[in-house]
Structure formats: C-alpha cells, structure tokens
Amino acid sequence: MADQPQTIKSITEFHRLRGLPGPVHPLVSVVRFEDMKYNSKHPQSWVLDFYSIALKSNFKAKLKYGHQVYDFDEGIMTFMAPGQKIGIEYNPDQPVDHSGWLLIFHPDFLWGTPMAKSIRQYEFFDYAVHEALFLSAEEEELLNGIMANIGDEYRRSIDPFTQNIIIGQLEVLLSYAQRFYQRQFLTRKISNHDVLMRLETFLDACFHDQQLNRNGIPTVLSVAEALHISPNYLSNLLKTLTGQSTQQHIQDKLINKAKEMLSTKSLSISEVAYALGFNYPQSFSKLFKSKTQVSPAEFRQQMTNS
C-alpha cells in the first residue's frame, strides 16, 4: 500500500511528534535538530499546515520528493510552504546526528502584517527538495546568526513587540536567501548549463514540424516537468542566466518558428496560427505583433519586398 502522509496541523502537534517540550508560542517555533527525537514509529512522509525553514548541516538522511530520493551531506537550506508533501528515509543503523535549526510558523502568525502578502514573492517556498539552497561556510554562519536571533526572541516573554521583531528577522532571513539563490544560479555553472541545453533540446522537439498542431504550445509546467525542475526554480534560474523567464523562452521560440513559416511557406496566416497550436488566429496575431511590433501580414509583406 502506498505510504499515506500524515497531516500535521499545528506547531504543538509537531513538537509532540518530535519529542519536544510544548512550544512557547502557539504559532511560531524555533528548534534545533539536535533536540528532536526520531524513531521507526514516526511517519515516513507528512504534510505540514504551516511554513517551515530548515538550515541543516551534516545531514545524513535521504529526503524524498515525489518518487525521487536525494542525498545531502553539506550545509543546506530548504523552504516549505503549507500543504507540501515531504518524506525522510533514515538508515536505522546510522544515528541521526545532523545539526542546525528549524523555524516553523503558521500563516496566522503573519496575519495583519505586510508579510502576510509579501511572503508570496519568495518563490523558493515552492521549490522542490533537490533545489535546496547550498550554502558556503560564511553564508551558513550568517544565517545561523539570524536563526539564533529569532530563537532568542521566541524564547522571551511574549509582549506586543514579539511578532514584529520576529517578522523583521524573518524578512532579513528571506532577503539573504534570495541573494544566495542568485549566487547559486550563477556559480553552479555546469549543472545550469546542462539545464539550458536540455531546455533548448526539449523546445526544439516541441516546435518540430506538426508537433505544435498535435500537442499544442508547450506550457511552463510541461517544460518544467520535462526537465524535472519546479516551475518557479526554472523561471528564476533562466531569468538570472538569460534575463528571460520560461514563458519568454517559449514565446521567443514560437515567434522564430512563426517567422520561418511566414517567410518560407505558402500558408495563410490562419493556417500558420493553427499549425503553431493556436485555437484562434487572432490570438496568434496579437502575440506576434506584441513581440515584433508588426502584424503577421505586415511581416510577410516586408519579407516579400526585401
């Protein structure tokens, strides 16, 4: 029988499951991995109803995302939004001795603050496990310091300033994470170059003769699935490396194919639109003009006169 994930609805329930004392605050908690207890009775996969940010070192377990299992043995940082499924596979013969911090907070903790909306801008909460943030020693030390600050404030007596101070530190933490992801996109050149090559190969296959007419225009989701990368991670990687999102790459490939067909084939503009996977020629003409500043008919006329 397939493993059924256990839904953990509250911070208190998480503490109880991991053998931790009850949380100081019902909506936010900062704990150290060294203090958590693990045993075979714990669920192998679960869904959290709250956000989690983990900063781990010496991580010897295997993280499972979907059907893929990934090993990490260096400083990593992962971000999980509410509702995502995650699993961990442990070696029973090897003690769980990784270190680091776990910050968990319920969406209600952000209620009434700008962060309730702005947290959506941090797209790495929707990245897959294998798209974790790999940290240098200096970066890890800096983020450990912020986590410690949040932990210190969390353990103080709750007063009217507690929420704003913790959220302020959280904003700093997430801003550094954005910076370090930009660094990761630029420095992991070999793997990122491979992504670009696979992207071009996949799009070339999609735009081969008759493929668009049969299968339709590829979507960001279909491209990401083909490359085994989450949609947000792929678009952010491409923006950093090329200045364009996945959608823009798809549209540029589409426009280039359209130009080729308008220049070399004796098809009507409607026939070109249908061949390119558009259901309505007007949609094709609108996109073409927005990208080239001329209509398909004007472009064809320019090619004829040149």
pLDDT tens, 207-216?
A: 886 778 788 8
Indicate the burial class of 266 (C-beta count within 10 angstroms; 0-12, 13-18, 19 or more).
exposed
Per-residue pLDDT, 146: 94
The mean pLDDT value of the chain amounts to 84
User: What band does 70 get if pLDDT is binned at 50, 70 and 90?
Assistant: very low
- Asked if the model's pLDDT at residue 256 lies above 50, the reply is yes
Residue 296 — pLDDT band, cuts 50, 70, 90?
A: very high
**Which tokens belong to 246?**
């996945």
**pLDDT for the residue numbered 225:** 93
pLDDT for 114 equals: 93
Mean pLDDT of 154-170: 90
- Give the Cα separation of 221 and 231 in Å (integer): 6
The reply to whether the predicted model has a pTM over 0.85 is no
State yes or no: pLDDT of 90 exceeds 80: no
CA–CA separation, 105 and 132 (whole Å): 19
Lowest mean pLDDT among 10-14, 46-50, 61-65, 127-131: 61-65
